[in-house]
Structure 1
Amino acid sequence: MRLDELLDELQVRIDEVRGTRDRVHSLLEAVVSVGRELDLAQVLRRIVEAAALLVDAEYGALGVIGPDGRSLAQFLTVGLSDKEIAAIGPLPAGHGLLGEVIRHPEPLRLTDLGAHPSSHGFPAHHPPMRTFLGVPIRVRDEVFGNLYLTDKRGGVDFDTEDETVISTLSVAAGVAIDNARLYEGSQRQQQWLRANAEITESLLSGSSRPEVLELIARRAQEITAARLAHIAVPVDGVDGLVVEYVAGTDGAAWQGLVVPFDGTLSGAAHRAGRPVTSLQVSDDGRCAAEAPAPERAGAEHDGAERDAAGRGAGQRDAAGRDAIGPAVAVPLGTAGGEGRGVLLLSRSAGEPAFGEGELEPLVAFAGQAAIALELAERRRDAEQIALLEERDRIARDLHDLAIQRLFATGMTLQSAARLVEHEGAAERVGRAVDDLDETIKIIRSTIFGLRTKDRESGPGLRARVARAVGYAATSLGHPPRLTMEGLLDTDVPPQIADHVIAVLGELLSNAARHARSTRVDVNLKAVGGEVALTVSDNGTGIPAQGRRSGLRNLDERAQVVGGSFTVETPEEGGSRLVWRAPLRSG
Structure 2
Amino acid sequence: MTDAGRRPGARQPGARQPEELETASLPLLLEAVLSVGSELELRATLQHLVDSATELCSARYGALGVIDPERGRLTELFTSGMTEAQRAAIPRLPDGPRDLLGPLSPLADDPRPPLPDGTGRIGVPIRVHTEVFGNLWLTEKRGGPFTDQDLALLRVLASQAGMAIGNARLYETARRRERWIEGAAAVTTALLAGRPAADALMCVAERARLLADAAAGVVLQPTPAGGMEIVAASTHADPGDLVGTAIAPGSPVLEQLLGGEPVFIEDSATDPRMTTHVRERFGPSMMLPLQSGGQLIGTLALPRARGGPPYDAVDRLLASQFASQAALALVLADAQHDREQLAVYEDRDRIARDLHDLVVQRLFATEMMLESTRRRSSNASVADPVGEELARAVDELDSTIQEVRTAIFALQQPPSDAPTTFRGRVLRETGGAAVLFGFQPSVHFAGPVDALLPEPVAGDLLSALRGALAAAHRRAEVTAIEVEVEALPSRVRLTVADDGRTPSGARGTTVTWESAL
TM tier relative to shorter chain = 0.5 to 0.7
Query: In structure 2, what is the equivalent of residue 78 of structure 1?
Result: 80
What is the TM-score with the length of structure 1 in the denominator? Answer: 0.59
Name the CA distance, whole Å, in 2 between partners of 1:215 and 1:265. 28
Query: In structure 1, what is the equivalent of residue 326 of structure 2?
Result: 369
Query: In structure 2, what is the equivalent of residue 349 of structure 1?
Result: 307
Name the CA distance, whole Å, in 2 between partners of 1:132 and 1:26. 20
SS in 2 for 1:58: strand
Name the CA distance, whole Å, in 2 between partners of 1:434 and 1:495. 26
| Distance change in 2, residues 1:145/1:386 (3 Å) | same
Letter in 2 for 1:142: E
Name the CA distance, whole Å, in 2 between partners of 1:171 and 1:262. 53
Name the CA distance, whole Å, in 2 between partners of 1:365 and 1:138. 31
- State whether residues 189 and 361 of structure 1, in contact with CA within 8 Å, keep that contact through their aligned partners in structure 2: yes
Name the CA distance, whole Å, in 2 between partners of 1:153 and 1:268. 60
Name the CA distance, whole Å, in 1 between partners of 2:239 and 2:334. 26
| Distance change in 2, residues 1:221/1:449 (3 Å) | closer
1:333 maps onto 2:291 in alignment: yes
Aligned Cα root-mean-square deviation (Å) = 4.2
**Match among 91, 94, 99 for residue 93 of structure 2:** 91
**Match among 387, 391, 395 for residue 430 of structure 1:** 391
Query: In structure 2, what is the equivalent of residue 176 of structure 1?
Result: 164
| Distance change in 2, residues 1:62/1:292 (3 Å) | same
1:275 maps onto 2:232 in alignment: no
Name the CA distance, whole Å, in 1 between partners of 2:65 and 2:252. 27
SS in 2 for 1:338: strand
Structure of larger gyration radius = 2
Matches within 5 A, 1:107-506: 107-109=102-104, 119-122=109-112, 128-130=116-118, 131-153=120-142, 156-202=144-190, 216=204, 220-221=208-209, 223-224=211-212, 226-228=213-215, 230-234=217-221, 239-246=227-234, 249-250=236-237, 252=239, 256=243, 258=245, 260=247, 270-289=257-276, 291=278, 293-294=280-281, 324-342=282-300, 344=302, 346=304, 349-351=307-309, 353-420=310-377, 421-422=380-381, 423-425=383-385, 426-452=387-413, 457=418
- State whether residues 367 and 394 of structure 2, in contact with CA within 8 Å, keep that contact through their aligned partners in structure 1: yes
Name the CA distance, whole Å, in 2 between partners of 1:384 and 1:268. 35
Query: In structure 2, what is the equivalent of residue 44 of structure 1?
Result: 46
Name the CA distance, whole Å, in 1 between partners of 2:131 and 2:250. 34
**Match among 46, 53, 56 for residue 54 of structure 1:** 56
| Unmatched runs of 5 consecutive residues or more in structure 1 | 1-11, 295-323, 460-492, 499-556, 563-586
Name the CA distance, whole Å, in 1 between partners of 2:177 and 2:110. 43
| Unmatched runs of 5 consecutive residues or more in structure 2 | 1-13, 421-426, 433-466, 474-517
Name the CA distance, whole Å, in 1 between partners of 2:48 and 2:389. 101
Give the paired residue count.
410
TM-superposition CA deviations, 1:57-90 (whole Å, max 9, x none): 3332222222424222222222333333333323
Shift of 1:234: 1.6
SS in 1 for 2:261: coil
**Match among 80, 97, 106 for residue 101 of structure 2:** 106
- State whether residues 215 and 303 of structure 2, in contact with CA within 8 Å, keep that contact through their aligned partners in structure 1: yes
Name the CA distance, whole Å, in 2 between partners of 1:228 and 1:68. 23
Shift of 1:336: 1.7
TM-superposition CA deviations, 1:472-497 (whole Å, max 9, x none): xxxxxxxxxxxxxxxxxxxxx9779x
| Distance change in 2, residues 1:19/1:108 (3 Å) | closer
Shift of 1:396: 2.3
- State whether residues 64 and 137 of structure 2, in contact with CA within 8 Å, keep that contact through their aligned partners in structure 1: yes
Name the CA distance, whole Å, in 2 between partners of 1:148 and 1:268. 46
Shift of 1:364: 2.6
Shift of 1:251: 5.9
| Distance change in 2, residues 1:382/1:343 (3 Å) | farther
Name the CA distance, whole Å, in 2 between partners of 1:397 and 1:76. 77
TM-superposition CA deviations, 1:322-359 (whole Å, max 9, x none): xx5543333222242223441526477353x3333343
Name the CA distance, whole Å, in 2 between partners of 1:410 and 1:494. 30
- State whether residues 214 and 302 of structure 2, in contact with CA within 8 Å, keep that contact through their aligned partners in structure 1: no
Letter in 1 for 2:362: R
Letter in 2 for 1:53: E
| Distance change in 2, residues 1:277/1:381 (3 Å) | same
| Distance change in 2, residues 1:47/1:267 (3 Å) | farther
SS in 2 for 1:273: coil
SS in 2 for 1:36: coil
Letter in 2 for 1:446: A
| Distance change in 2, residues 1:147/1:281 (3 Å) | farther
| Distance change in 2, residues 1:235/1:339 (3 Å) | closer
| Distance change in 2, residues 1:444/1:175 (3 Å) | same
Q: Which stretch shifts more, 380-389 or 200-209?
A: 200-209
